[in-house]
Structure formats: structure tokens, C-alpha cells
Amino acid sequence: MDYEGANADYQKVLVLNPDHPIVYYNLALLKEKSEDFQGAMTNVNRAIILDRKYADAFHLRGNIFKSQGHFEEAIKNYSKVIKLDPSHFEAYSNRGVARVRSQRKDYKGSIKDFTKAIELKPTEAIPYNNRDLSKANSGDFLGSLKDFEKAIELDPNYGFSYRNRSKSRIQLNQREEACLDFMKALELGDPAGPDLLKQYCDQ
């Protein structure tokens, strides 16, 4: 993508209409994708000042905070999105991720968020994969196994689901099945595959 050209086009629009929140949002999105997080934050803040009910702008600000490791701030922004738009799938999904990555390691809260994301989009594999990780980290290996199986059913080519399912199977003493999962993950390009096979499967 021609980031410089797109940025120049947006700046031209702002000359004609300096109070257009969508343009500031698009500028922020552009800068976020190019990892200019400071520039992204400046522009998304301007979009929010101009439109306090701009749910996608709060979501983008949450993503910017999450990318920088400021997970509590990210959670606050995702919560604002959900208040403005209770059907915002990405806000629930991303808030769940931020809860897991925060210092609090809020697995219980993340499971609730991923469950809501699944209710909104039951054919999306990623929230199943994320929920099963939270369940596994909470010690619910049987529950996590069911979610991994659903994630794989929805997206059989996502190698990390096989890797993660294998770890739950190790905890459930299903070593043979776990090793098959490690091999499948490796086949699908999981870079951790060789080390995991060596560690758990003597291969």
C-alpha cells in the first residue's frame, strides 16, 4: 500500500474539512498499520473529540494501546465500544485478548468475552481458539479440548490450534494423540513443531 500517497490524500481532504472525524480515523488506521503508534494515537484522539460516539475510533484506540502493551487502557476502550455498540464482535474478541495479556491474567473475564464473540459470530474460529487457551490456563483441559476441536473444524489449516490442542492432550495423558497434533502443526508451518516433538514425543 502507498502509505505516503494515502496520507497526502487525507491531508488534502482535511484542508477542505478540518473537522471530519472519519478522515482522522482513516489517518489513524493508516499510521497504525505502518506502526507509527504516536501518529495513530494523535489522529484517533482527534476523531474521538469530534465524535464521542464513534465506536470504531474507540476500538482502534484500544488496538493501539494493545499493540503497545497498555492492556488496561485497551480494555477501557474496548468496554467503551461495547457500551456504544453491544454487537461489536471485534471489541469482545480483542478485550478478551487484552484481559489475558494484562498483569491480572483475567482468564475468567476473557472466557466471557470470547463466549460473547462466539455468540455474535459462531462460524469464526479465532474466538474458539482464544477461549480454549483461557480454559486451558484455568485448568479446564476437557473444556479447552472441546473448543480446540471446534476451532479446527472451522479452520482445519490453522496450525496453532493443533499445537494448543496437543498441550491440553498432554495434560490429559493423551500423549499419542498429542504427538499427532504436534506433527500436524509442523506440517502446517508451526515453527515450534520440531522442538515440541523432541520434548514430548522423542522425535
> Of the ranges 2-16, 33-47, 90-104, 188-202, which one carries the lowest mean pLDDT score?
2-16
CATH superfamily name and code, 55-121 = Tetratricopeptide repeat domain (1.25.40.10)
- Stretch 69-73: mean pLDDT, rounded? 98
* pTM tops 0.85: yes
Q: CATH number of the domain at 1-52, please?
A: 1.25.40.10
Q: CATH number of the domain at 123-203, please?
A: 1.25.40.10
User: pLDDT tens digit string along 98-131?
Assistant: 999 999 999 999 999 999 999 999 999 999 999 9
pLDDT above 70: percentage of residues in the chain = 91
Does pLDDT of 13 surpass 80? no
Does pLDDT of 12 surpass 90? no
Candidates 109, 181, 170, 113; CA nearest to 141 is 170
34-60 in b/e burial notation, b at 16+ Cβ within 10 A? eebbebbbebbebbbebbeebbbbbbb
- Stretch 21-47: mean pLDDT, rounded? 94
The reported pLDDT for the residue numbered 187 is: 95
Does pLDDT of 61 surpass 90? yes
Cα–Cα distance measured from residue 70 to residue 92, given in angstroms and rounded to the nearest whole number:
17
- Stretch 84-102: mean pLDDT, rounded? 98
Boundaries of every domain in the chain: 1-52, 55-121, 123-203
The reported pLDDT for the residue numbered 155 is: 96
The gap from C-alpha 55 to its chain's centroid, in whole angstroms, comes to: 17
Cα–Cα distance measured from residue 192 to residue 176, given in angstroms and rounded to the nearest whole number:
18
55-121 and 123-203 have identical folds: yes
